[in-house]
Every structure is written in structure tokens, then in C-alpha cells.
Structure 1
């Protein structure tokens, strides 16, 4: 890493989590959250695109206790590179209540993936977003998808809105379950008819396609309380209620606008998915199938 490269620092999450106005059902899962550090124990990668605040396992557990969340999927973050120790440590400490999604490098072997599987990893994530480096090497991408297929894993795609349109034909050819992060990071000001959301809706007609109706603070164009993002989540939950996940995205890395309060995000889920039975599918049944089937 160049000595004169400036690495941006992320804002810390809101420390005063509000208690949601409703209680998630037993077994509810936060299917998209992160553990960062602490740096003294799990150092951040030297070539990282950002430096997060330390957000250790203990803080995540305390957050979930406040929110009424019993299980979680730790999405390994690019600031830790492909060093999976922080995520595997969290899973191991959870007593079976957590699973994980990996970030891997081009040197990953079948044996290495099998070891990750034994450690509770059930998917692999690729970043396409510009601020995290943009398009991965597609030959590497295709090779890893072939490697994880025998393990029954899925692939998580972190895309910018324009990527959903440009990459839709390639995504449609994926042979394993694929999960679109943060509703494809569409922008609410573009409306439900914008090309990126239309492309996402079309992808969701594929039985292998899943989507996370989280990141409303990233989709919103109006800022807090992010209500302009709600119709997008509602539409997706209505279209594919058995292939929708939800997560907090705590501790909300790289937020440039209003920092959300995680209790308010739980309330936003109830606003977007008012039907209690559908919410149970999103929070309990769907993550069960994708992360705890074995």
C-alpha cells in the first residue's frame, strides 16, 4: 500500500439503539451484519478501501438483544480482505446462532472452502460497487461459483444500481442461488419504474434469485426516516416472499448521509411488510432454508 494513500474513515453507528415498537418472532435472523475488529485482535487489511470503527462481536450481540433478534448472518467485509478469522470467530462463539458469508481471493482452494464450510460459512460475496474496487475478475468469479456449487452455497452480489442493468444477462445465467444486496442499491428518487429496479424485478422471477430488503438508508433519496425506500421493499416482498431476506447492515459502513438507528430499521421492516406471516417468512423461514438447512 502506498504510504501517501489516504484511507477514508467510516462514521460510527448510532450508539443509542431504540427499542422497536414491535417484537420480531422467535428465531428472527439479521441476515446482513458485520463484525469489524477489534483491530488489535483482527487487523484490517492494508489495502482496504475504508477504515471502519471497531464493531466487535460483543457489540453485535448486545444490539441484537435490544432488537429482539436471535440469529445472524455475518457478511465478511472487504476491510478485512480475505482474512476470515474475525467472521469465523464470531460464528464459533455464537453457539450455532450465526452463519457467515465469505470473501475469498484467487488462491482459494477446494480444501480451503471446505474448511470455511465447517466453520459455518454458507455463501461467498463479490463486490461490484465502484467505491470498493468495482468489477471483479470474471474468470475468478466464475471459477469460485463452480467451486462452491458442490457445497450448496450461494453467491451474494453487492452491486451498484447501474450494474443491475448491465450485468442482468450474466446474472441470469448463474447456476447457484444468488442474493442481491440492498435491493440493488437503487435510488428512490428514480421511482419504481426506473430501469435498475425493473431489471431487479425481472431477475427476481428466476427461482434462484434472492434479494435483501435492507439498506433502506442507502436506497433513500430523502434521508431519515427513509420512508421513500419502503415501496421498493414492499414490492419485492410481494413478488417473492419466499426469497427475501432482511438485515440491519450494522454498523453501516460507508454511510455518507443520515446514520440510521437500528431500532428504527426494525420498525421500517414492519412498515414495508405489514403482513405478520410474510414477516415471519422473511425473518425466520427464508434464512432457515439458505443458512441452516443442514
Structure 2
């Protein structure tokens, strides 16, 4: 594997969804056992594909123990960003430390067996607003109406993981599409990522029309502002749904965006992280 040199200039692209793991760190029982996956491994892989900036997302197996993520951010000051998992007991000093290291959001996981749910969102909301952080959701399509209600109540920015849970079998008239439209109107962002979590298999053609529809809705939501659609891409590396010996190729989870949107729009998505995670 190519090595990332300390002084090597990062490529311009953004990968908005990766995880890092330390095999010696305790994990929550009842889910997967992660393999050691350090920051340097994904930096080298991403840089080779024109991606120099990563968003490190706290995986569910570490619950509120964010130290692996925070230590990784500290090794590359200012280069990457983070999304953590916290509860209402987190101290203001700890939030300030996270902010200084590059954390820009908190994650609520409504899907994983050891996910954190959303019980602490309302208690955390005033402090998240003061920091300028967003709320990132790993959720099912059926959760979108509830997520909409939470954001109408809190006014916090919203980021929806993995195509907002809009899986390959979702009907064209499912209420989730209206929920997504309303969330986009509130300023939500959608991650084009996690294809294999949505009932699709490589090369993920079953989701092409859904990606195109999401992009259309995102474009309509900003039509009056002149902004680019609020879309980002994430690889979901190191693909915890797969055994370590059979990980998808890095470029294979980028190709669905390119195929669905075309080169110009796809590159705008890859650059979107510079706007969302500034």
C-alpha cells in the first residue's frame, strides 16, 4: 500500500463517511468485532483516488468512547473532520476539545443493534446549536417523518446517512420521499453512500434511479438560492458489512454516483464536504 507522506499535500476531494478502529480498544458486545483499521490506511487509499479529506464517523461499537476517532484527528490537525457519539452527560470542556480537533456533528444511530437512539437529542440541542454542529442520522426510510419533526423542533442542521435509508425496494410513492423533500427544504444534506446497506449489490444499478431522484429533490430545494445541491459522498470504508478479505474496491462505491449523475455533478458531490464540514 502507498504511504502518505506527512508533508504531502492532500488531494481536493472529500470522503464524508469512514471509520477508524483500534483492535485493542474495547467494543460493545452484541454487534461486529472490528479489525484494526488505522487512519493511515484509509488516507493512503483515498489519496490515491483524489480524496485528501476524510470525515471520521464514530462507529456504533465504541458507543460514546470517541478516543480512537479523536486521536486520529489529532494526528492530522485541520485536515479531516469528525462526527462523534455523545450523550447529555458530556461536559462542555469535552465538547470544546472535540470542536478544536475538527468535530462538526453528532451521530444518532437508529439502525444498529448497539445504536444510541435519539433520547438525548433535545437535551443536547442548545449546546449543539452554540457550537454550530449538525446532527447526523443513520436511520431507515420509515424514520424520516420523525426526524423531520425533531429538526422542526430544534432547528439544527441535519445530515442523512446512506441515501437517507431509501432502499432499493422502496416504492416510488412511499411517504419517505415526501419526508425527504421536507427535510431538504429545511436544509438537510444527504450522503450518497452505503449502497450495500440498501438492498443493492455491486455495481448497485438497482439504486441508480433513487440516486437521481434524490439529486433532483436536492436541486429543487436550493433552486431559489443558486447554491449547489446539499449532497456529499462517502465510501463507508472499511465496509463493516463485509469480511476483511473481501472488501469492495474503493472506486467501486464511487462509481454509482458517477453513473447516476454524470462527471460534472458527481465531482460537485465529491467537493461538497468542503461546504458542509468547513
CA contact (8 A) 1:230 1:268 kept: yes
CA contact (8 A) 2:73 2:101 kept: yes
CA contact (8 A) 2:63 2:115 kept: no
Identify if the C-alpha distance between structure 1 residues 79 and 130 changes in structure 2 by more than 3 Å, giving closer, same or farther.
closer
Q: CA-to-partner distance for each residue in 1:220-241, whole Å, 9 max, x for gaps? A: 34x2211111222222223324
- Map 1:84-233 onto structure 2 (within 5 A): 84-129=66-111, 131-133=113-115, 135-137=117-119, 140-207=120-187, 209-221=188-200, 223-233=201-211
TM-score (normalizing by structure 2):
0.84
Q: Aligned-residue CA RMSD in angstroms? A: 2.4
CA contact (8 A) 1:210 1:244 kept: yes
Separation of aligned partners in 1, 2:74 and 2:143:
35
> Cα distance, 1:201 vs. partner?
2.6
Separation of aligned partners in 1, 2:58 and 2:185:
28
Q: How many residues align?
A: 259
CA contact (8 A) 2:58 2:69 kept: yes
> Cα distance, 1:155 vs. partner?
0.8
Q: CA-to-partner distance for each residue in 1:186-226, whole Å, 9 max, x for gaps? A: 2212243322233223321222x1111111222234x2211
Separation of aligned partners in 1, 2:109 and 2:269:
24
Could you tell me which residue of structure 2 aligns to residue 35 of structure 1? 20
Separation of aligned partners in 2, 1:135 and 1:83:
16
Higher relative contact order (CA 8 A, sep 6+): 1
Matched, 1:57 2:35: no
Could you tell me which residue of structure 2 aligns to residue 6 of structure 1? none
Separation of aligned partners in 2, 1:255 and 1:224:
13
Identify if the C-alpha distance between structure 1 residues 238 and 65 changes in structure 2 by more than 3 Å, giving closer, same or farther.
same
Matched, 1:270 2:258: yes
TM-score (normalizing by structure 1):
0.80
Gaps of 5+ in 1: 1-14, 16-24
Could you tell me which residue of structure 2 aligns to residue 279 of structure 1? 266
Gaps of 5+ in 2: 2-9, 219-227
Identify if the C-alpha distance between structure 1 residues 174 and 253 changes in structure 2 by more than 3 Å, giving closer, same or farther.
farther
> Cα distance, 1:287 vs. partner?
1.5
Greater Cα shift, 46-55 or 143-152: 46-55
CA contact (8 A) 1:48 1:78 kept: no
Could you tell me which residue of structure 1 aligns to residue 4 of structure 2? none
Separation of aligned partners in 1, 2:173 and 2:114:
27
